[in-house]
Amino acid sequence: MKCLAAGLALLCLAVASTAAARDEDDTFLASLEADRRPLVIQALPTTPASLRTTLDDSLSLTRDPAEIWAARQWQNAMEPSVARFVKDDALRGELLQRVFLEARLARLPPELVLAVIQVESAFRADAVSSAGAVGLMQIMPFWIRELGLPADDLEDPWRNLRYGTTILAHYLAVERGDFTRALARYNGSLGKTWYPERVMRAWQRHWRGPEESGRATVQR
């Protein structure tokens, strides 16, 4: 009888402990429910619908002869500088065509895009930073969730260009055309100027368009 009584007492104690633990769990879960906050870090305000459309647009746009001529002039002017980084002629030509088109879609100076690529990856499509940024324009993987589709491959240089120009154009719109602040946002160093200065310096030294190159030749 004493053993039975002791066993019942232990069973009651175990049931009580379990009930107490359950109550504690319920209280804890209830507090989480009451204090629910999204565990998502938003890097910037909601992306404008126009830029989301740009990201999904087809690359095959109708182009008039004047624009084709301007693109070729620009490509010829940029070719020598890009050749320092991209040795393959065919790849270099396609890269320049893509940069010109993506910059046009995003309403960015194509020379600025080249400067960002130089600073970010030195034109290496397989570049990966210590922070996990990927590709030509060093895109962080979380941008796939913000802008694209789960199947998007940031190591694909053309997809990477689309992301990079879209993001940079958005930041430029947020900063109302202020290149310094837009570039700092792109780098994640808003409030500091070292990154924008590097990009702007590369832009001025290596990526002058046909008109600027022509003026420099005349001045000599």
pTM over 0.95: no
Taking the C-alpha atoms of residue 40 and residue 48, their distance in angstroms, rounded to an integer, is 19
What pLDDT score does 148 carry?
Answer: 80
- Evaluate if residue 40 carries a pLDDT over 50: no
Q: What is the mean pLDDT of the chain?
A: 77
Q: At what angle do helices 110-121 and 194-206 cross, to 10 degrees?
A: 120
What pLDDT score does 213 carry?
Answer: 52
What pLDDT score does 88 carry?
Answer: 95
Give the pair of three-digit tokens for residue 159: 């997809």
Pick from 54-63, 109-118, 143-152 the range whose average pLDDT is largest: 109-118
Q: Furthest-apart CA pair in the chain: how many Å? A: 112
What pLDDT score does 32 carry?
Answer: 36
Calculate what percentage of the chain has a pLDDT beyond 70: 66
Lowest mean pLDDT among 24-28, 92-96, 117-121, 125-129: 24-28
Lowest mean pLDDT among 15-29, 32-46, 65-79, 197-211: 32-46
Taking the C-alpha atoms of residue 113 and residue 131, their distance in angstroms, rounded to an integer, is 21
Reported as a single tens digit per residue, the pLDDT across 157-215 is 999 999 999 999 999 999 999 999 999 999 999 999 999 999 999 999 999 876 655 44
